[in-house]
Amino acid sequence: MRSARFQHQVVGSIPEKLQVGTLYVTTDRDVAGHLCACGCGREVITPLSPTDWSITIDQHGATLDPSIGNWAFPCRSHYFIRDGEVVWAGNMSNKAIAQGRQRSKTRKLSYYRQLNETPPMPQEHRRKTQPPMRQTRIQKLVAWWRKLFAT
């Protein structure tokens, strides 16, 4: 059955069995999940982060941004969820999909590169002998992303 509207439900984790017309959002807001709005029954899991999707919940419902493009599914559905309403979007060519994926990859690399860059400390605040610095989790993640997307 095709969904015209999603009711949101905040959960500790995404349930094993998803219900039609329900957009599940984890309590720490790091992931959302729902069944494809076209009715094909496939699970759509969207990571919520500064470089992936974002979610806004208010009295009108949940808004997930950007659009959901299920290009790997046979249905190839493409839609927005705005204030809980499904807003259908047009199909995209394979070239447009590839360009969108490349923009996303570039945006992620740029974001994590900026996180890794810290301004140099003024000379007067530096200690004469500094202990060796250990990599933070973010720095390790950035290094992993760089290695993953190195061309």
- At 134, the pLDDT band (50, 70, 90 cuts) reads low
71-98: per-residue pLDDT in tens?
Answer: 899 999 999 999 999 999 988 888 988 8
The total of other beta-carbon atoms located within 10 Å of residue 4's CB is 12
| Tokens matching residue 147 | 């290695």
Average pLDDT over residues 130-145: 67
Kindly report the backbone phi and psi dihedral angles of residue 23, in degrees, each rounded to the nearest multiple of 5, phi listed first: -105, 110
pLDDT at 56 over 90: yes
Give how far Cα 113 sits from Cα of 34, 59, 90, 120, Å. 31, 36, 33, 15
pLDDT at 61 over 60: yes
Instruction: Quickly state the pLDDT bin for 3 (edges 50, 70, 90).
Output: low
The answer to which of 18-22, 112-116, 136-140 has the lowest mean pLDDT is 136-140
pLDDT over 80 (residue 148): no
How far apart, in whole angstroms, are the C-alpha atoms of residue 121 and residue 39?
A: 55
Examine the pLDDT at 35 and tell me if it is beyond 70. Answer: yes
Q: What is the mean pLDDT of the chain?
A: 85
Over the stretch 62-72, which tens digit does the pLDDT of each residue have?
Answer: 999 999 999 89
Beta-sheet strands, E only, within the chain: 7-11, 22-26, 31-35, 43-47, 54-58, 61-69, 78-82, 85-88
Residues 6+ apart with CB under 8 A from 56: 62, 63, 65
Q: Quote the CA–CA distance of 106 and 43 in Å, as a whole number.
A: 26
